[in-house]
Amino acid sequence: MTAEKPSSRSAIGMLILIFGLTAYVFLAAVVGEFLGDMSLVIQTIYYLIAGLLWIWPVKKLIYWMGGKKA
CB 13: neighbour CB atoms within 10 A? Answer: 19
- CA distances to 25, 47, 49 from 52, in Å: 12, 8, 5
CA–chain centroid gap for 61, Å, is 9
Residue 6: what pLDDT? 66
Q: What is the reported pTM?
A: 0.77
CA–chain centroid gap for 48, Å, is 14
Residue 2: what pLDDT? 57
Each residue's pLDDT, cut to its tens digit, for the chain (70 residues) gives 556 666 788 889 999 999 999 999 999 999 999 998 899 999 999 999 999 999 999 999 999 888 866 5
